[in-house]
Amino acid sequence: FNVYVNLGRAAMITQSYDKAISAFNNAVKIEPQFYASYNHLLEIYQHQKDHQKYAQTAKQLFDVVKEPRTYILYAMSEYQLGNKDKSREILEEGLKVFPADEAILQNLNALN
C-alpha cells in the first residue's frame, strides 16, 4: 500500500499523471478507507479537467466515507457535470446528517 502511495506521489511530482492514477487506484484497492489516495486522484482529475472521472472518484469516496467534506466533494462533482439539482440534494442530505456544519451550509447557500 505505502509503495503505491509513494509511487503515486512521485509520479505527480514528475507530472506522470497516468502512472500516478494507476498507483493511487492500486492503493485504493488495497486500503479503500485511506482518504489521501482519493484526494490525490481528485487533484489530478481537477488538473486534467476530467469532470467525469472526478465525479466517479468523488462518488467512490462518498460511498466509503460519509463526512461533511465528502458530501461537499460529491456535490461539487455533480455541479461540475451540470447537475445543480443533484448537487443541492446531496448538500441538503449532508445538512440533515451534519446540521451544524458551516461548510455544507455555505456550499448550499452558494447554489441559491
> CA torsion angle for 22, 25, 26, 27 (degrees, to 10)?
120
Residue 112, pLDDT score = 76
Q: What is the mean pLDDT of residues 76-99?
A: 97
Residue 16, pLDDT score = 98
pTM: 0.91
pLDDT band at 27 (very low <50, low <70, confident <90, very high): very high
Residue with grid cell 492500486, as numbered in its chain: 26
Percent over 70 (pLDDT), the chain: 100
Contact call for residues 24 and 7 (beta carbons, < 8 A): no
Q: What is the mean pLDDT of residues 70-97?
A: 97
Q: How far apart are CA 70 and CA 90, in angstroms?
A: 10
- Could you give the C-alpha distances from 3 to 7, 16, 24, 64, 79, in angstroms and in order? 6, 16, 10, 22, 34
Judged against a pLDDT cut of 80, whether residue 63 lies above it is answered with yes
